[in-house]
Structures are given as C-alpha cells and as structure tokens.
Amino acid sequence: MAFWWPLIVIAIAFAICKLLLMLIPDNVPSIDVDTSDVLDDGNQTKDNSFIYIPSRRHTDKVQCYEPATMKYLGYFPALKPDEVKERVVQARKAQKIWAKSSFKQRRLFLRILLKYIIEHQDLICNISSRDTGKTMVDASLGEIMTTCEKIHWLLSEGEKWLKPEYRSCGRSMLHKVAKVEFSPLGVVGAIVSWNYPFHNIFNPMLAAVFSGNSIVIKVSEHASWSGCFYLRIIQTALAAVGAPENLVEVITGFAETGEALVSSVDKIIFVGSPGVGKKIMRSASDTLIPVTLELGGKDAFIVCEDVDVPHVAQIAARGALQSSGQNCAGAERFYVHKDVYSSFVAEVVKIVKSVTAGPPLSGKYDMGAICMQEHSERLQYLVNDALDKGAEIVARGSVGNIGEGAVDQYFPPTVIVNVNHTMKLMQEEAFGPILPIMKFSSDEEVVQLANDSSYGLGCAVFSGSQRRARQIASQLHCGVAAVNDFASNYMCQSLPFGGVKDSGFGRFAGIEGLRACCLVKSVVEDRWWPFIKTKIPKPIQYPIAENGFEFQESLVHTLYGLNIWDRLRALVNVLKILSEQPPAPTSNRRRND
C-alpha cells in the first residue's frame, strides 16, 4: 500500500493543477471583422432590396439571393480559368512560407477562430440561414457545433498525429529506425456544396492550414454570399497571427471555375453529386493528384421491434427533416420492423403534422426554404413516382405564410408508406424532407434491403439490444454507422467521414482526413550510426560468389523460419559460408584464355 500512496498523491496533484490551469483565462486576441454589408438592418440600398428572379443560364456573375424570401443579396464574379490559376499561384507562394510555421502559431490561429465563432454565433447562423434557407437551430447544430468540435480536436490532438510516427523495422533491419513523416502537400483545392456553407468551408480549411498547406475553396453558386463573408473571418484571423496573405482563398463561379481549380492544385476535395464527382476524377487524372470525394448518400435508418418507439420516432424525424433536407448525411430510407411498424408510423405522423415550413428568420418555423431553385419540383417528381407505383402519403406538414412568389422554394415534410425498391424515392438521393417507411421481418432481410443501394455513406440502427444493433450495422456496406443514435459520428471529430460506392471514397475529418492533406513519406535510417551500418555480406558482393544464392537461401531461413531449430540450423550455415569466403567465379573469357 505504501508504494501506491505517492502515485495517488501525484495523480491528485496533476488533476488539481490541470483544473487550475483551466480556470486561468486564455490570452487569445480578439479580431474585428467588417459586417456592415451583410447585416439585414432594413436599410438596404435599392440595388439589393428587390425580389430576385434567378436566371436559368450562367453569366459572368454569381447572383445571390435568399431562398426563403427571394430577396437579392448581391453578386460575385464567376472567375475565369486564368484568374483561378493566378489565385493558386499566390496561394502556392504563401504556402512555402506557412510550411515553416510552428504548431504554436497554428494553434493560436485556431484559438482566435474559436473565440470569434463562440462570440458571434448569432451572426454566423443568421448569414447561413439567409443564404441557404435553414433555421437558426439547424445552423447551430450543423455549422457551429461541428466546427467548434473540429477546432477543439485539432487543438488537443492535431500536432500529435502530424509528428513522425515510428514503426517496427522488421527482423532484417534491426539496426535501423523506421518512421513515417507527414509533410504538407502544397496547395489543397476544395469544391464544396451549399448545404452547410460555414462548416463546408471551415472543415477542409482547418485540416489543410493546420497541416501546413494553403487552400483554395470553390464555393457553390448557391451559397457564395455567405462563403465570401466567412472568408473574411478566416483572413482576419490569419493576419492576427502573422500568416502570409493568400494562404486561404475562396473563389466563386460555375463549372469552368471548378475545372480550372482541379487542374492547378496538389489535391482536390469535392463534396457534391456522383455525376460531378466522376468529372472531377477525370480532370484530376491529367495531373494525377489525390482526390477525396464525398458524394452524398441514401442512408438507411433501421428500427427493430424492441425499441422505445416515441424516442426513436423523434430522432427519425430530426434525421429526415433537418435543414429542410439539407443534411447530406440525413436519413432517407426508413426500415421498420413489422411488429412496431404501425406505432412508429403513428408517432412520426404526429411529429410531422406539427412541423411547419416558412421563412426561417421569423423564428416560428421548424424548417426553412429549399436552397436550390426548382429542387422542390424534383422532390415532387420522386413522390409522384412512388404514388404511381402504389405508395401512400399518410401525413404532410404545413407551409406557413411565406409571401407571394416564393411558394416553389418550400416543400412540406411528407410521410410515405407502402414503399418498395422499385420506386425512385428509395433509390435516388432526394435531399428533401421526406420519410419513406418500409416494413421488414428479419435482421437478414433488413441488411439485404439496406445494402440494396448504389450509395454507401451512412446508416443508423436502433435496437433494445446494443449487441444486435451492432451486428446489423457491421453488415451494412457504408462508411459511417451510428448504433442506437443518429449522426453522432460527426460530433466525434477524431473519426474519418466518407462513404463507399456512389457515395465516393477517401476520408476527411479525423486522423485520416488530417493526414490526407500530407505527403506521407517513409524514412529509414541507422539506429546506431556511424558505429553500425548496413554492410553487404561478402558472398553477395560484386562479383557474386558461387554460393551467393545458398547464402541468401540460408539467410531467409534464419530470419523467417517457422521454428527455432530450423532457424538455428540455417544460422549455422550462414556463419559457415561467411567464414569460408570462397573466391568469386572466373568469367568464361578468362577460362578460355
């Protein structure tokens, strides 16, 4: 017992010291970001106070408007290829300087960002809401919390996972040290979607900058207004730590802007549709740069018969309806055991009937507008196809007072039953507030149904038996699985995020995502240099001795033989050959002489 007392005292003292350090205010500088042109104070000029009718054709400008009200927000240039390449050139110059920065400087940059985000949550969520139509609560959940968690993880563990990692050197190289080094790639390019304009910019940016890269981010034409404001926050924080200009750039435009970015950078991260993802891969093949693709999903939400039905129904509704269906990891296919099917549908119907869509900033609506113009028409097409094939709508939420001329930007939350896999609604990504619910009878059946999809991003499995839920989840072919929960994976930023099949490949977030921004280099060096070095044994030195192969054969047995006696016998032969040192074979020419 006396032996343990000092250890206990040391542990208590350490815990007390750590607590005291937490109580000391962190000396993090504040930054001042200009918000004068993004705050909706009711005093807009004539140029940005009218209702905007989006053009169907691309121009040299990216026009921005609020999907919830159609109020005009302004425009940004659609950059041409030469302009994109010039931005990348400037980012490359900045990266060469930043690559020499210390982790202390990089952590300060993260702390400044974290402080600003926490102190300006209302501003950030307001801008995200205005540009994409999501509610303030959904913006907080998907934009603020996930970004803060990523920053916290990088501050806690980022440096640890970027330091050289030592590996075993094997039996034949016992005198060596083997390690993996992680150095910056250079300029990372990212083409991101509109659904989470704040987090989709910060997510790749944080990993790229913390690992010593620069980054150029092409934001969606549907969320350029917010993206360009969020760049101000980043650049102001970078300036506060003395980082070079142009280390982080946000560019705006359409397809040719993205194509030019792919052809100019050292790695590309793409978040979007499978069709565009394939085009990205083709373009990236010209320069053979690494590619990470996150291409959406058709996530299965599985409910076994032994669950707390009201609890799981509430989670299911959140999974399907979050951000008016703007959650790319959202639940899109619901499989419910036949024994609780009726009660689950009844609970979901009750929830959905209480949900109202409307202008999100009014504060009284559960869901906002659909971001993309005409997307509600596609959602109705998927619903109509299901109805034509025998499905039935059992509940729809309501649409509030949204104002004249903007009706097509909203889609009421919808519950559909009697669905099957012949319907497009169960096969194609909807990206909308629709809950198609299908029965299953056994675990084997639901595994087969869930895997019957071209997508493979995520899944959620609910059962009163955690072991059972885990077993089902382990059989699903996807990249992200939540057991008795939904979307909790993304709040664990130590975990990689990504999918398989048409959901893409590669990972961002977590250790894998951080290291994916690095050149991974294997390094071997002498352990006791210069006293012990690799020396080529005499039998295999040039010119090779006649018993050179015999020596190699015995050496392999010595190092890798399956039992100790074979290895000892081989070692004796190795030593014997080394001691004999026969002369090198004479050439045929000398013999002929």
Q: Token digits for 467?
A: 């072991």
Spatial contact of 373 and 331, defined as CB atoms under 8 Å apart: no
294 catalytic residue (yes or no): yes
Spatial contact of 117 and 30, defined as CB atoms under 8 Å apart: no
Helix, strand, coil tally for the chain in percent (to 5): 45, 20, 35
The one catalytic residue in 143, 259, 294, 429 is: 294
φ, ψ for residue 286 (rounded to 5)? -65, -35
Q: Token digits for 574?
A: 């190795």
Spatial contact of 182 and 162, defined as CB atoms under 8 Å apart: yes
In terms of DSSP bridges, do strands 214-218 and 248-251 run parallel, antiparallel, or are they unpaired? parallel
Which residue matches tokens 């059962």? 463
Name the helix (H) or strand (E) containing 523.
Answer: strand 518-526
Q: Token digits for 466?
A: 């955690």
Name the helix (H) or strand (E) containing 267.
Answer: strand 267-271
How much is the CA Rg of the chain, to the nearest whole Å? 30
Distance from chain centroid for Cα 300: 19
What DSSP line would sit under 334-345, residue for residue?
A: EEEETTTHHHHH
In angstroms, rounded to a whole number, what is the distance separating the alpha carbons of residues 56 and 64?
13
In angstroms, rounded to a whole number, what is the distance separating the alpha carbons of residues 485 and 499?
18
CB neighbour class for 134 (10 Å; exposed up to 12, middle 13-18, buried from 19):
buried
Distance from chain centroid for Cα 276: 17
Spatial contact of 182 and 518, defined as CB atoms under 8 Å apart: yes
Spatial contact of 449 and 440, defined as CB atoms under 8 Å apart: yes
In terms of DSSP bridges, do strands 214-218 and 299-303 run parallel, antiparallel, or are they unpaired? unpaired
Cα–Cα nearest to 318, from 402, 474, 435, 400: 435
Residue positions annotated with a catalytic role: 294
